[in-house]
Chain A
Amino acid sequence: MSNVLVVAELDQDGNLRKSTLSAITLARKAEGALGGGFDVLVLGANTAAAAQELTTFGAGRVLVCEDASLAHYVAEHFAPTVAEVGKGYKLVVATATTFGKDLMPRVAARLDAAYAGDCADVAAEGGKLVYKRPMFAGNAYGYCELSTAIQVATARQSEFAAAEPSGSTSPIEKVAKAAPSGAAARVEYVSLDAVTSERPQLTEANVVVAGGRALKEKFFEVIEPLADALGAAIGASRAAVDAGYAPGDYQVGQTGKIVAPSLYIAIGISGAIQHIAGMKGSKVIVAINKDPEAPIFQLADYGLVADLFTAVPELVSALRARG
């Protein structure tokens, strides 16, 4: 009998978002403590491919709720069904993307459950789950216990590795869509102004090249060739975003995206606390900055004090020369 429910996230075209695999990893860690397995719930208008893909991760069942009203994610349409299905579980989880962060506290309120958001880890102590959460912009971790009958949590994607296929195949079952709440009648999906890019997603990339305000109007002119040479995603500091040099969804930091790639290259980024909160989990950090006193050098594995307008093109040439 499964006691953890994972809520899957699909993109606009019905493809499974890889972020879901982090929530599955959290579920696998928690299920043992609760004495059972986990199920996955997929909601959407076109779920067949995603449901099929989800059968490979060891879930007891893959539950599918398919309905035309679920074509676009709107919390008021999703929450009633997630809560209705979630009633049968002890723990309901998703990944702390903007989808999970928007939906899951709403689901928690519907289940009269307490919520632990953006968890960095979960462990069992004396049969109880203890959630480890980053607080104060990642400058402290708090360990908390929830005492409601059902608990709801989200997993910080950069802290839970993507689950690997288990070798087994889970059965797929249909579930009915719950009656919509009154709130759903007063909200309307208008549009998604999606940023389309050939590059990997910032939160899922193996290499991230991020630029700061020092790049000024040459942000893309300098950063893009380097990102191309490394197959990297592009990030930006809040200062660069606020100054209008890079779009908002490039922002890495406490209030932007949290990333943990194998290699993070910070170009002209001084290293404000709120930026560091978003990238300090990276395996290897490189900083290029002409100010030797920049705080970023205090955590960079490799620092290069240089003028970025000459050093970055040089680095691009060197990488290209290696082939």
Chain B
Amino acid sequence: MKILVAVKRVADPDNANRIKVSSGGDAIDASGLEWKINPFDEYALEAALRLTENGASPKKREGEVVVVTMAPKEAETTLRSALATGADRAIRVEAGDDDLDGRVVAHALRKLVEEEKPDVVLMGKQTVDGDSNQVGQMLAELLDWPMATFAATLRQEQDGSLLVGREVDGGVLSLRVRPPCLVTVDLRIVSPEGVYSSLTDPSFKYNEGVRFAPLPAIMQAKRKPLTVRPLSELTDVALTTKYTKFELPAKRSAGVKVKDVAELVQKLTEEARVL
């Protein structure tokens, strides 16, 4: 099975206290933020690795995992660490954030998918900077592929179909999709029983979370192929989403500390009037 994983490098939202808006209000000032791979995309990569191996012998890749990003050269660090974790090849599409919106990314990925012909495209359900949650669904439609979004579990069946447990409001909705198909992943995909390839024994349990690259693999990753493509080769779709202003949300201020349960009930009844 060949899997294409789309990843993005994002400003770490766990450092959100340091998010600032430029003085004119027309840009997010990310200068104080650290960069890291979008966590949902990191989980998509882990899911791709689990789908292309027997969980008991993860060093042997059954198939190919290609990782792609659209970003400036600095993001090659992100691609190299994906290669070190187990991906076989990487593609960087040369583009700055200002060249991209969800629709442009979806169209560029469509062209790459048509060239690469993967069986499955995997990506995070959303990036934690823009929080848009749109590229996977748009790409699936452009390709006329079936999709399963917000995946918490993935089972590869003997005929190659994927049984996907989707996290939806009020429960888990299961879909069966036949490749070529697209899956976007939610947090719980990296739980011990999140993903099973058809080679992995159903009783096998992964470690919680994503795998880390051993040192020799980090060295080896430097020799794995990484190609660079200009965005213009993949799409000529124009930008159609324009952010004109940013602002920080109103800060909620701390209220009062109550001394005991009786005072709490009294405040909620008489002051807040919510009981």
Contact = CB atoms under 8 A, between A and B. Distances in A.
Interface in A254-287: 254-255, 257, 262-263, 273-274, 280, 283-286
Contacts of B246: 135, 140-143
Given A187-B177, A318-B262, A143 B245 contact: yes
B215 interface: no
Interface in A148-187: 148, 181-184, 186-187
Contacts of A306: 260-261
A105 B126 CA distance: 12
A71 interface: no
A299 B268 CA distance: 16
Contacts of B244: 130, 143-145
Contacts of A284: 268, 272, 274
Nearest to B149: A102
B144 A182 contact: yes
Contacts, number: 268
Given A98-B168, A286-B268, A304 B258 contact: yes
A144 B242 contact: yes
A256 to B, nearest CB: 9
B144 A114 contact: no
Interface string A101-134: 1111111111000111110000000000010011
A138 interface: yes
Q: How large is the interface on A (under 10, 10 to 19, 20 to 34, 35 or more residues)?
A: 35 or more
Main secondary structure of the interface of B (DSSP, over half): mixed
Contacts of B195: none
Contacts of A76: 146-147
B176 interface: yes
A210 B254 CA distance: 19
B36 interface: no
A300 B106 contact: no
Interface string B233-254: 0000000111111111100111
A31 to B, nearest CB: 22
A106 B145 CA distance: 11
Given A101-B149, A203-B169, A315-B265, 17 more contacts: A105-B133, A109-B137, A118-B133, A135-B130, A136-B13, A136-B128, A137-B128, A139-B248, A142-B28, A146-B240, A187-B148, A188-B177, A195-B170, A263-B275, A280-B252, A298-B254, A318-B261
Interface of A: 74-76, 79, 97-99, 101-110, 114-118, 130, 133-148, 181-184, 186-195, 201, 203, 207, 230, 238, 248-249, 254-255, 257, 262-263, 273-274, 280, 283-286, 297-306, 311, 314-315, 318-319, 322
